[in-house]
Chains A and B, each alone.
Chain A
Amino acid sequence: MTQTIRLYDIYHADLFSRAKANQLVNHISPKADTVILDFEGITFMSRSFTDELYNLVNTMQGKVFRYTGRNDDIRVMMEKVADGRTRERKLGIPPAQMLFFDTQSKLADFLVVQ
């Protein structure tokens, strides 16, 4: 059987947290062989939610997941997360200084000019 899950009905417009993504499993019928996740009305999906959704989709054996109603941001977010699982991570952060202050007055002197 095919099951359609309207995410807005469960979560409203925002898909924020990992815990919420994990709760999705409770809405999936064991009898469903195809699950359609309907994103109509969803305006934002966080990276964390997307990451957990990726786990869920890839660990539910024997079920096919399809998506409908995704806006561009959601579609790209899903692509980024999937892409991140297949390649080594590269940090985009520039190197930072490591500082140590042993007294409050030294910290104060530093912060006044910085």
Chain B
Amino acid sequence: MERVIIPNVSESEHIGSIFNHLVQVVEQTRHASGNAIVWDFSDVTFLHPFFLAPLAIFRQQKDLDIRCENITLQMQSYLNSIHFDRMLHFENAARETAEQVMAQYADQSYIPLCSFSMTDENKDTFSSIARNIIVRQANVSAAVTTPVSYFLSELIDNIYEHSGSPNGYLFSQYIENEQCIDLCIADSGITIPGNYKRVGLYQEEIDGDPAEALRLANEGRSTKNRPDAENRGYGISTSKCMLVEGLGGSFFMLSGSAFHRYERQSLNYYADISRFFHWNGTLILLRIPVNAPDGFNYIDYLE
């Protein structure tokens, strides 16, 4: 029996610190694979959404037999509410059915951990319904409603167009104290470096460095441009600028063995961690303020 101690990850921790906790738990769990694993929650009184969501996705992707122990009643209640043990799954449900399921969260502060099949109809229907709930829960200002739609549509469409992932994942938590929404969007696909490798583009520039692949994707180097135009690749770059520079939010992306963090001009980097860590798929974390600064107009960030 291998025991992995789950750390307390408080509301005030920054994304870097949260990611550090995640790497440690994931690596300890991986090394224990093959044995029965216990995630020990003795130290936990709070788990940050940006820690909790990836942890649940990791567990689901790996289909690991992990027993969770020493969870306080309050924490267990929250974990049950957000479907930590078993995600809500949307598999080509009719719009009305999906709306009915999600309507029960309209007056909560979260959207539970959801997986949704990556078909034309299903992903758009799910994104649209999720957006409606997120906006309602947080009473998002009019100026931020369209950016929320923009982030969801572009980032989920990227999963569909590039990742080859059968499912997408979404989790959202409104943090009233901070007046922001912590949104997690993820897939279990071929990763961004893997996609460049699959199509054989930009391989000289990437030169085996997964962080360079992330940089290219974040700067809009699409694998699917038309022969006559650079018409693709705007989704991530414009979403990021709108979020960070426009709204004062935060952006984090983990894909395969590299991650990218952008919170302000002085905190903007890509990191290659391929020597010791690999994540199956791509994970994007967005901290979205619910109110926009004066003068913000999302149109200013469209390229």
Identify which of A12-20, A32-40, A61-69 touches chain B. A12-20
CB-based contact A114/B231 at 8 Å: no
Q: Judge if A31 is at the interface, Cβ distance under 8 Å.
A: no
The residue of chain B having its C-beta at the shortest distance from the C-beta of A22 within the complex is: B120
CB-based contact A99/B229 at 8 Å: no
Q: Judge if B153 is at the interface, Cβ distance under 8 Å.
A: yes
B10-54 residues at the A interface, CB under 8 angstroms: 14, 16-17, 19-20, 23-24, 27
Partner of A46, one of B27, B149, B240, B273: B149
A68-114 residues at the B interface, CB under 8 angstroms: 73, 76-77, 80-81, 84-85, 89-104, 107-108, 110-112, 114
Q: Which of B161, B240, B267, B302 has the most CB of A within 10 A?
A: B302
Tally of contact residues, B, Cβ under 8 A: 61
CB-based contact B95/A93 at 8 Å: no
Distance of A89 Cα from B270 Cα, bound (Å): 22
Interface residues of B (CB under 8 A from A): 14, 16-17, 19-20, 23-24, 27, 95, 120, 123-124, 127-128, 131, 146, 149-150, 152-154, 156-157, 160-161, 209, 211-212, 215, 218-220, 226, 229-232, 234-235, 237-238, 240-241, 260-262, 265, 267-273, 275-277, 299, 301-303
Interface residues of A (CB under 8 A from B): 11-14, 16-20, 23, 44, 46-49, 51, 54-55, 73, 76-77, 80-81, 84-85, 89-104, 107-108, 110-112, 114
